[in-house]
């Protein structure tokens, strides 16, 4: 009987311990809610940044494609100019040879 009476007797220390445990639990729950809100905010910010970066990358890719097309056209023009220069050089050489032949005939 004495064990039962001791079991149900509360001392001030027991009440303080229970209060501390309850306060610690409530503090933990409050912090975990705050952390969850912080994580959600960070996740939303990261999603916005990811979308902005994706758009920037797409614009850079489009610019690079346009630049590659311009470079290809430039290379084609350089090739045509090289061909025309070679043809003009051959024509000038031919004209020079004909002039020499005309001078030799006269």
pLDDT tens digit string along 82-104?
999 999 999 999 989 888 888 88
Which residues constitute the domain of residue 72?
2-105
pLDDT tens digit string along 8-58?
666 777 788 888 899 998 888 888 888 888 889 999 999 999 999 999 999
Q: Give me the number of domains the chain comprises.
A: 1
DSSP 8: T
Predicted pLDDT at 104: 84
What pTM was computed for the model? 0.50
> What distances in angstroms separate CA 51 from CA 2, 46, 57, 101, one per listed residue?
71, 9, 10, 74
């Amino acid at each position: 009987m004495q064990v039962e009476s001791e079991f149900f007797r509360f001392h001030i220390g027991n009440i303080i311990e229970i209060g501390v445990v309850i306060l610690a639990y409530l503090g933990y729950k409050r912090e975990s809610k705050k952390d969850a809100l912080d994580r959600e905010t960070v996740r939303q910010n990261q999603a916005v940044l990811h979308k902005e970066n994706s758009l920037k990358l797409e614009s850079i890719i489009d610019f690079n494609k346009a630049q590659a097309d311009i470079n290809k056209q430039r290379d084609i023009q350089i090739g045509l100019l090289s061909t025309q220069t070679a043809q003009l050089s051959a024509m000038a050489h031919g004209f020079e040879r004909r002039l020499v032949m005309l001078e030799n005939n006269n």
